[in-house]
């Protein structure tokens, strides 16, 4: 019954994964290379399914803190806040990479081991499958009818006719067929293992794609006010992250101009649409083209993409000297602290006021302004907006400081935060005697604050929208996408396709009374599930093809 033993081996463990054989069952590579034995054992342990399961579980577990603690990769300011609020725990967690979980060495160690284990399983598995693809289906057992799906019948047709009919039916159903004397063997469903291997190989390729993106990709953020432009060079970005192999002086040479930003809102202040109209020049000297960038709909420039990720308002700030000459004139973006109604914080830093340094220490006389921007002002609440659009914009609570902005020291500073430690607050009144001043950027005459030293006048005479764009370049993205598609295809194949074998044996009967008749046995085996319906159908088709029913 050697046939049966080979069948039972086919039946034993249904291998979904890449693990071919339990490590303890694998044949030893020979006793001579004794010194390597511990390494061989360690390798087997690593590539065993149990280890893979453990690593999978560890990977899931290790990802949990990444969702509970704020992550630098997602929002660095939240991390700073967390550390500030937890002076003991924060730095401790930081040392353990609690805020960079997905870049932590221990996280990398888990997935690196997992992928080594995976590759260690894949290679022998690929070899085995390649061999199986080249090999013919195994020979028929002595009595196929005794299999879980099996049938035995007699017919007047000759053995050759039966086998020919069987071959034709099985080939018609895309079985791989081999013929021996008196029997036919057929097998189908090789795609299960092909799919399984495709899935796991694609997983490795996916990881490679992610690595390519990490090394050669960059991402940057830039704030552009209506009517202003952006050129894709390092200095123009407000923030910029890049992979280790990016040449930052050779970024794609495109530039664009934001001609108009439009936002529409529902009456209940929920946003409806955002549109950024831009004029793009792909490289110096190229013809300019018009485009619209929306949320969910980025602008593609070669391999780079420009996304619209946020928006806000930039008031037009002008500082005039006593002769009415502008010494400062700029649209300054304000940062929204309320995402829904866009109440924003504004900081204007005016280093060059035209005032001479004062006192014996020659302290610079620079101007810094803090104010709240309220897109739709209501008299009931001065501090917060009641609608996100610019229906009745006001700069409220304007605080003007005079002194040293601290930007000359060369230390980098956040443009949205005013350091008032070396400055003095001026007590000034705005239009209509408002104190602190309340300015409307819509007044044609320009609302202004007077009474600054040296006869200076600070005024706000307009306001525009700004858009925040994110520029992304990820050369590994295509590879990741294709690997993902291949993964899914392989996965579906490995879970839905069943591998099954069918054997037909036909012998001329030895019973003298029934001379000339043929005894036919057909049997089938499936690794998973049952074969009943398909098997019955195959048998019916074979019998239909026989010249005379038995």
Contacts (CB under 8 A) with other proteins, residues 252-281? 266, 268, 270-274
- Is residue 26 near other proteins by the rule CB under 8 A? no
The pair phi, psi for residue 473, each rounded to 5°, is -135, 115
Cβ count within 10 A of residue 424:
12
The least distance separating other proteins from the CB of residue 495, rounded to whole angstroms, comes to 5
Residue among 148 and 248 whose Cβ is closer to other proteins:
148
Residue of the chain from 47, 117, 149, 440 that contacts other proteins (CB under 8 A): 149
Segment contacting other proteins by CB under 8 A, of 50-58, 276-284, 354-362, 435-443: 50-58
Cα→Cα distances 119→114, 299, 413, 461, Å: 9, 38, 48, 65
| Count of residues near other proteins by CB under 8 A | 81
The structure tokens 């302004």 sit at 369
Residue among 275 and 422 whose Cβ is closer to other proteins:
275
Interface of this chain with other proteins, residues 368 to 407, rule: CB under 8 A: none
Distance in angstroms (rounded) separating the CA atoms of residues 187 and 148? 16
Interface of this chain with other proteins, residues 433 to 472, rule: CB under 8 A: 470, 472
- Is residue 173 near other proteins by the rule CB under 8 A? no
Residue of the chain from 28, 67, 250, 380 that contacts other proteins (CB under 8 A): 67
Asked if residue 474 lies in contact with residue 193, where contact means CB atoms within 8 angstroms, the answer is no
7 conformational bin, left if phi > 0, alpha if psi -120 to 50, beta if neither: alpha
Cα→Cα distances 355→331, 346, 448, 453, Å: 22, 23, 19, 8
Residue of the chain from 40, 43, 44, 59 that contacts other proteins (CB under 8 A): 59
- Is residue 57 near other proteins by the rule CB under 8 A? yes
Residue of the chain from 33, 41, 127, 146 that contacts other proteins (CB under 8 A): 146
Residue among 127 and 540 whose Cβ is closer to other proteins:
540
Name which of 428, 451, 435 is nearest 397 in CA terms: 435
The least distance separating other proteins from the CB of residue 166, rounded to whole angstroms, comes to 15
Q: How many CA atoms lie within 13 A of 12 on its CB side?
A: 9
Asked if residue 422 lies in contact with residue 404, where contact means CB atoms within 8 angstroms, the answer is yes
Residue of the chain from 90, 98, 137, 150 that contacts other proteins (CB under 8 A): 150
At 435, list the tokens: 């104190």
Residue of the chain from 139, 429, 477, 517 that contacts other proteins (CB under 8 A): 477
Q: Residues 6 or more apart from 360 whose CB is under 8 A from it?
A: none
- Is residue 163 near other proteins by the rule CB under 8 A? no
Residue of the chain from 20, 52, 364, 393 that contacts other proteins (CB under 8 A): 52
Name which of 132, 182, 158 is nearest 503 in CA terms: 182
Segment contacting other proteins by CB under 8 A, of 60-68, 130-138, 239-247, 503-511: 60-68
**Residue 278: burial class (beta carbons within 10 Å; 0-12, 13-18, 19+):** buried
Interface of this chain with other proteins, residues 290 to 349, rule: CB under 8 A: 295-298, 305, 307, 309
In the sheet with 255-265, reading across from the earlier edge strand, the strands are 229-231, 255-265, 271-281, 289-294
Interface of this chain with other proteins, residues 520 to 539, rule: CB under 8 A: 526, 528-533, 535-536, 539
- Is residue 481 near other proteins by the rule CB under 8 A? yes
Cβ count within 10 A of residue 80:
14
Residue of the chain from 83, 140, 151, 398 that contacts other proteins (CB under 8 A): 151
Interface of this chain with other proteins, residues 196 to 255, rule: CB under 8 A: 210, 219
- Is residue 22 near other proteins by the rule CB under 8 A? yes
Residue of the chain from 15, 156, 208, 389 that contacts other proteins (CB under 8 A): 15
Residue of the chain from 40, 46, 82, 102 that contacts other proteins (CB under 8 A): 102
Residue among 63 and 234 whose Cβ is closer to other proteins:
63
Interface of this chain with other proteins, residues 105 to 144, rule: CB under 8 A: 143
- CA dihedral 63→67→68→70, nearest 10 degrees, is 120
- The residues facing 307 across adjacent strands are 470
Residue among 382 and 482 whose Cβ is closer to other proteins:
482
Q: What is the DSSP string of 168-236?
A: HHHHHTT-EEEEETTEEEEEE-THHHHHHHHHHHHHHHHHHHHHHHHHH-EEEEEEEETT-EEESSGGG
Peptide bond into 436 cis (omega under 30): yes
- Is residue 44 near other proteins by the rule CB under 8 A? no
Residue of the chain from 328, 474, 503, 519 that contacts other proteins (CB under 8 A): 474
Segment contacting other proteins by CB under 8 A, of 52-60, 84-92, 344-352, 509-517: 52-60
């Amino acid at each position: 019954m050697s046939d049966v033993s080979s069948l039972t081996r086919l039946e034993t463990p249904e291998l979904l994964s890449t693990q071919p054989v339990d490590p303890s069952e694998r044949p030893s590579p020979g006793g001579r290379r004794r010194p390597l034995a511990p390494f061989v054992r360690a390798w087997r342990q690593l590539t065993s399914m149990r280890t893979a399961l453990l690593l999978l579980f560890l990977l899931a577990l290790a990802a949990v803190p990444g969702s509970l603690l704020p992550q630098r990769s997602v929002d660095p300011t939240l991390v700073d806040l967390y550390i500030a609020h937890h002076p003991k725990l924060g730095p401790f967690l930081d040392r353990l990479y609690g805020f960079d979980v997905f870049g932590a060495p221990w996280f990398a160690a888990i997935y690196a081991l997992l992928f080594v284990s995976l590759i260690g399983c894949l290679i022998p598995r690929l070899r085995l499958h390649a061999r199986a693809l080249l090999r013919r289906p195994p020979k028929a057992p002595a009595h196929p009818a005794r299999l879980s799906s099996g049938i035995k019948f007699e017919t007047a047709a000759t053995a050759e006719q039966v086998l020919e009919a069987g071959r034709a039916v099985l080939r018609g159903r895309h079985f791989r067929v081999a013929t021996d004397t008196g029997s036919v063997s057929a097998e189908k469903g090789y795609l299960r293992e092909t799919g399984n291997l495709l899935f796991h190989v694609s997983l490795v390729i996916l990881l490679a794609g992610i690595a390519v993106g990490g090394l050669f990709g960059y991402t940057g953020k830039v704030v552009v006010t209506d009517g202003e432009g952006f050129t894709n060079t390092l200095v123009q970005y407000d923030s910029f992250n890049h992979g280790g192999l990016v040449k930052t002086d050779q970024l794609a040479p495109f530039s664009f101009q934001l001609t108009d930003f439009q936002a529409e809102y529902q009456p209940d202040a929920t946003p409806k649409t955002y549109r950024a109209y831009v004029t793009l020049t792909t490289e110096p000297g190229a013809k300019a083209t018009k485009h619209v960038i929306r949320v969910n709909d980025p602008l593609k420039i070669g391999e780079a993409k420009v996304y619209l990720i946020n928006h806000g308002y930039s008031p037009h700030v002008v500082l005039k000297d006593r002769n009415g000459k502008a010494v400062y004139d700029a649209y300054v973006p304000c940062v929204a602290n309320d995402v829904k109604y866009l109440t924003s914080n504004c900081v204007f830093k005016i280093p060059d006021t035209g005032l001479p340094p004062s006192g014996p220490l020659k302290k610079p006389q620079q101007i810094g302004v803090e104010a709240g921007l309220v897109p739709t002002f209501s008299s009931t609440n001065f501090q917060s907006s009641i609608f996100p659009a610019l229906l009745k914009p006001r700069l409220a609570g304007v605080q003007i400081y005079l002194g040293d902005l601290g930007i000359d020291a060369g230390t980098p500073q956040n443009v949205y935060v005013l350091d008032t430690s070396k400055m003095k607050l001026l007590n000034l009144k705005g239009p209509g005697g408002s104190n602190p001043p309340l300015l409307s950027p819509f007044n044609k005459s320009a609302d202004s604050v007077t009474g600054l030293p040296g006869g200076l006048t600070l005024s706000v005479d307009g306001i525009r929208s700004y858009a925040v764009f994110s520029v992304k370049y990820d050369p590994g993205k295509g590879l990741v996408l294709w690997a993902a598609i291949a993964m899914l295809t392989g996965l579906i194949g490995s879970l839905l396709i069943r591998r099954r074998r069918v054997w037909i044996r036909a012998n001329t009967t030895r019973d003298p009374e029934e001379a000339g008749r043929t005894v036919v046995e057909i049997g089938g085996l499936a690794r998973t599930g049952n074969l009943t319906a398909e098997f019955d159908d195959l048998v019916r088709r074979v019998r239909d093809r026989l010249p005379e029913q038995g």
